[in-house]
Structure 1
Amino acid sequence: MTRQNFVVSSDGKSMVNALIPLWDLCNHEQGRLSTDFLPEKDHSECLAWRRFSRGEQIFIFYENLHDTLAVRLGISHADPLGDKKRALLNTLVLPCSGEFLLHAGPEPVDAKFRAFLRIFSMSEEQLDHWLAKQEGSKDLEHNDCALDSELESKAWTFLKTRVTLLLASYNSSLQDDELLLQSRSINSYKRLAVQQRAAEKKILHETLIYAQQKLLQ
């Protein structure tokens, strides 16, 4: 799942997943994107963005570790458990509604977002248990916090559903954007906008995979 490269299909009408020998073995290093698919030559090309010494491992840049996507979430005033959820969120100095960030890379959900998802999904009994712990509620931010499997399932199912809806709200797919970026006919302003949109979708796709993996644990 970590090696999904989009190249133009044989009929030139879509983007398809491909494995690229050797290039697929390269590790990541912060730098700048220097890999592209050249339709006129029908191959992918990767340019070195810095000088490498003989015998040195060759790295490629394939994700900006600082990319984030804001997702707005909140506790509904119609939620019968809203007061207890807000009280527990307050103990962790977390907002009851607002924007939470999804991060690029294999760990898109940070500690604060993880705790919010768990509290959002709690039953009244679970809320009472964690409210009684006071400072122990900080454990809700930990990836390996001991929680009921049903609660974890509800939290990650909620995130999976939310991300799926966000992806469905776009008028194009990530594959469509990748294909459009191969075109030499779009101007620099549109290219920048499409790159931004594609980066958002990539983070959402990574989050979807992350949530699915959590549900399998």
Structure 2
Amino acid sequence: MTRENMIPRSRPLNAATANGDDTSQDQPDNIAALIPFWDMANHRQGRVTSFFNVGTQEMESAAQSDFKAGEQIFIHYGDRANADLMIHNGFINPTNPKDYICIKLGLGTSDPLFEQRAKLLLLMQITKNTDLKVLPPPTYISPQLLAFVRVFNMNAQQLEHWITSERAMDLLHIDCALETTLESKTWQYLQTRLMLLLRVFPTTLEADEEQLAAYKKGELYFCYVEAMVLEYRVLEKRILAAALEYARQRVKA
């Protein structure tokens, strides 16, 4: 998959279109392609500087910084979480500023307020069953995750108020003015959910950090994949643990 790049499909005039039998509408807009040389460039955090030139039918890529002859050329693969980098590219970035952990949340159809909750979520362009992000410090909880949990904990009167309000998008903001009871329930829910996610792991963060430190000192052997998975698990748990502590502080406040 790392060698497969989707580029715009060129649609030259052919015999079928010349005869009025235009089948090009049935073709997808993009086609998978191999791009030699560019495809071999390794990743470095930065910005995307590679673009496909439809006019010349070529991939154009600019360097993010100056480099000398013989030095390795890097490109930015995009703002991907470590889970995506590991699965699709075979590595992780321990200092990835775009890292996040997804948790799956959804509304229960047996909830008597299901329709109202789904309607309010839709106003914020959030689906009723979705993956939402837990982020590294200093953000911790993504706006969409915070809004979803707020809606999930609203009563009928609160839902009606926000559905009819022109300021529904305010629910995405950390400093949104809400009733104390609702805000308390929101952060208590997040605290409980994050705590349960951490308890699913068979090992603790501290135990994983000790193993990782021993591996890096050469005191413990892991193959590359085992070491990468261990380090990913440490990074994942750190994000969840930091968000859990943040939620605890919000509950106390």
- Could you state the TM-score of these two structures normalised by the residue count of structure 2? 0.59
Equivalent of residue 112 in structure 1, options 119, 125, 144: 144
Instruction: Give how far 1:64 is off.
Output: 3.0
Secondary structure of the 1:101 match is: strand
Matching residue's letter, 1:105? P
Paired residues of 2:132 and 2:142 also in contact (CA < 8 A): no
| CA displacement at 1:186 relative to structure 2 | 1.7
Match of 1:70 in 2: 102
What is the SS of the residue equivalent to 1:98? Answer: strand
Q: CA deviation at 1:214?
A: 1.1
Q: Which residues of 2 match residues 147-162 of structure 1 at below 5 A?
A: 147-162=178-193
Match 2:126 to one of 78, 81, 94? 94
The 5 Å alignment of 1:1-16 reads: none
CA change 1:66–1:103 in 2 (3 A) is same
Unaligned runs of 5+ in 2: 1-44, 46-93
Give runs of ≥4 in structure 1 deviating > 4 Å: none
Partner of 1:7: none
CA distance in 2 between counterparts of 1:192 and 1:107 reads 25
Tell me which amino acid in the other structure corresponds to 1:125: Q
Gap regions ≥5 residues in structure 1: 1-30, 32-61
Superposition pairs for residues 34-53 of structure 1, below 5 Å? none
Q: CA-to-partner distance for each residue in 1:121-179, whole Å, 9 max, x for gaps?
A: 1011110111111x311111111111001101111111111111110100101111111
Q: Distance in 2 between matches of 1:63 and 1:117?
A: 29
Pair member with larger Rg: 2
Secondary structure at the residue paired with 1:70?
strand
Match of 2:227 among 185, 191, 202: 191
Q: Deviation of residue 106 (structure 1)?
A: 2.1
Conserved in 2, the CA contact under 8 Å of 1:63 and 1:105? no
Equivalent in the alignment of 1:41: none
Equivalent position of 2:246 in the other structure: 210
Match of 2:158 in 1: 126
Q: Distance in 1 between matches of 2:122 and 2:225?
A: 43
Which has the higher relative contact order, 1 or 2, with Cα contacts under 8 A spaced 6 or more apart?
1
Q: Tell me if the contact between 1:72 and 1:98 (Cα under 8 Å) persists in the aligned partners.
A: yes
1:87 and 1:73 map into 2 onto residues whose CA distance is 16
SS class of match (1:99): strand
**Residue by residue, what CA displacement relative to the aligned partner does 1:42-66 show, whole Å, maximum 9, x if unpaired?**
xxxxxxxxxxxxxxxxxxxx85321
Two-structure CA RMSD over aligned residues (Å): 1.8
Equivalent AA in structure 2 for residue 106 of structure 1 = P
Equivalent in 151, 164, 174 of residue 195 of structure 2: 164
Between the aligned partners of 1:64 and 1:174, the Cα distance in structure 2 is 19
For 1:145, the aligned partner's letter is C
Q: Indicate the SS of the match to 2:131.
A: strand
**Partner SS state of residue 167, structure 2:** helix
2:80 aligns with none
Query: Could you list the per-position Cα deviations for residues 180-213 of structure 1 after superposition, in whole angstroms to 9, with x for gaps in the alignment?
Result: 1123322221110001111110011011011011
The alignment of Structure 1 onto Structure 2 pairs a total of residues equal to 158
Identity of aligned residues (%): 33
Counterparts of 1:106 and 1:205 in 2: how far apart (Å)? 13
TM-score (norm 1): 0.69
